[in-house]
Chains A and B, each alone.
Chain A
Amino acid sequence: MGVTCVCQVPVAEGKSVQQTVDMVHKKLEQLGAVKQGNFWVDCETYHATGNTTGQPSKLLYVMHNSETPLSCMALFEGGPGLTADANFDVLMVKLKSHFQNAKGHKVESRGTRYRYCDFLVKIGTIAMSSSARGISVEVEYCACVIPGDCWNLVKEFMQSFLGSNTPELPAVFTNKAEGLYAPVDCTDTMSQYLELFGKVRKQQVIPGSGVR
């Protein structure tokens, strides 16, 4: 896994989510990127029941990524994370009296995967309860694992098809101590998706987005 950046692209003025996604696809294809299948990333929310101290119960997020189909990542916001195999979902079912699945909170991003030389670009439509809520863009530079060394290159590449929507260096990388390395188990990527999904959950429903 190389250095990965996840950001959001706002829906273009007067266009629908699907139309904006198509516009980004077109730009990538003009650059010379090659379509390479599909991808999905999803996030389920569990909250702890039986909290006797009266504090708001902790939220546990369980995420899956099609790049690592046999794994899942469990995260507490701002807390420790765990990478486990797919049986962790079965374990969460056993724990249902202690951790309830907030089914309406499931967010997922699905879309196409493009390859351009050493870059992997994934454009996804973020959906919650089958209504499109936004667009996610994930750019991975597979040749490098040190964000400090390749950020300028990644940013320049993103500018070529995202224009002014190019983000700044993600907080996950600036918060790390020196010697920034992207960990092999894609924790950093999933934290970025988690942050993005959190933002999208709080946003209002885009009028006219409807069912895809």
Chain B
Amino acid sequence: MWGFLKRPVVVTADINLSLVALTGMGLLSRLWRLTYPRAVVFDEVYYGQYISFYMKQIFFLDDSGPPFGHMVLALGGYLGGFDGNFLWNRIGAEYSSNVPVWSLRLLPALAGALSVPMAYQIVLELHFSHCAAMGAALLMLIENALITQSRLMLLESVLIFFNLLAVLSYLKFFNCQKHSPFSLSWWFWLTLTGVACSCAVGIKYMGVFTYVLVLGVAAVHAWHLLGDQTLSNVCVFCHLLARAVALLVIPVVLYLLFFYVHLILVFRSGPHDQIMSSAFQASLEGGLARITQGQPLEVAFGSQVTLRNVFGKPVPCWLHSHQDTYPMIYENGRGSSHQQQVTCYPFKDVNNWWIVKDPRRHQLVVSSPPRPVRHGDMVQLVHGMTTRSLNTHDVAAPLSPHSQEVSCYIDYNISMPAQNLWRLEIVNRGSDTDVWKTILSEVRFVHVNTSAVLKLSRGYHGSTVWNVEEHRYGASQEQRERERELHSPAQVDVSRNLSFMARFSELQWRMLALRSDDSEHKYSSSPLEWVTLDTNIAYWLHPRTSAQIHLLGNIVIWVSGSLALAIYALLSLWYLLRRRRNVHDLPQDAWLRWVLAGALCAGGWAVNYLPFFLMEKTLFLYHYLPALTFQILLLPVVLQHISDHLCRSQLQRSIFSALVVAWYSSACHVSNTLRPLTYGDKSLSPHELKALRWKDSWDILIRKH
């Protein structure tokens, strides 16, 4: 029992010092003077507002990506004790003292720093040499664009981190597969692959590209597994099942989890409420929930309601009427009924109130007990402030002459009778006897005489559907009293909880459907300009001196990365053709290594770059950074391949190594030259700035005076 005392306690640690050194250098390069500049830099102005929303737990909607990315940034704010009080309105604005700049920028910087040792690991796991792995990591270390992007409160470095993590853990898993399937580390790396993939997707939709790549490589490997007839059917099935769970189920569950946490975190109503449906808004604290609290659930004859168009685009609106009438003759010469206008109004207003009236009775109050309105009932809708009822007739509508005009009926005594009976149809009813419910029911009004449907003229199908948003039982007989009643705010409480899945699907759908108008931006660029680094983005300019931060890559690395890619493609084509004619230049294992490295690195570049040609949104240089990292991984692979297989003699090999060292030093030199633009720490003279403008298309800011 006490046997362990008889032997000395020995801890053997295998520390790869180069890995430690790389991590250290990565941290140094990314974290050095992290709080400088203490001002809003470029897109921080965009992400910052969402961090503030998180800190204040206010609901928001952002179409740029799933919430996980914003949450990661907000975590930094939470750790730094940020209260969310900062007005994110202008690039260059000085941060006030309550903004914990260091901790806000910490997580992206850490992600950027850790990408350096990960590049080392990936190349090693691809079974290339230690030297090649060091090369990849050192290139990552000195790439100016990656440094700039990591040091700010932006998401690309986090995305790159998870991309690399997904690739790395898949490679670890794949290498485990050969000797110890179903071992603990096998499971660990497999699961981590799935987790990293879903995190990448959760940061930005762009992560999908890497996810697809990993899935594709996994599918090919699984297909080979299927062909391995030494394995039993059960064993193969287990393998496939494990992969399906880890690479398909886990990412989906995690993705839902991000939204779940998001919706738990932001539970207060905020400025983006209006885009969501009434039911969704009612599930938020404050806002609509405060107004609709305690309002009766069932709409009865005599109820006072506001009617909101369910799919109103681009902004939601409420059925509205006011004293003004349609002009007798329109500009184009058509006539109208000259009755009271009915519109859809995107703001809350007392004129949005309507009273549901039973056509057979005269009173406008709710009887006791209330008689609920059911599907198929005939109703009249009386405008609260003017007591005129909603009417439609065979007169062309003002803007859509093919549709009927909708008005509030005014009796001019001109043999144009009122046609104000509407049949209520509840679209999402459970049965035919369903009661019209506040907020929950989506209803359609079918005109009895003409069987036309009340419609908002923009859009297509959905716009015929309305729901009741605010609702109360009317109690005042007199018009005066009623007006006063309408002006007083509705009150009071039942929180109507939507299920998580309903809220998730609505939120996800709106995020995908939301189209921000793609305006051109001064620094927007096209994908073709990225490969050769023909463009840059000015991120920040010091308010007084000419110190400035640019997103500007190390041009030596960019160009040689693209060259390496071209060499890889040409060499692969050459080898493929030769193999087809049964000439094997490479030994089998070297060939397999070459193919796998290409599939992941060149493939990673392709999936992260080529889709941008199909996108119509505004694109920026930083969209290229994930593709660039894969290109950087490919570079040492190609270099080692040339040295191992294409250099015939020792002499050639030595010359080649010397060339590589010279090339790397030039990359370091360029990196160092561009350093003032990366860190923005040094104010350069106009002359020096002009000297840095190596391409005419680079936009480097020079103060005139």
Q: Do A and B bind each other?
A: no
| B residues at A contact (CB < 8 Å) | none
* Residues of chain A whose beta carbon lies under 8 Å from any beta carbon of chain B: none
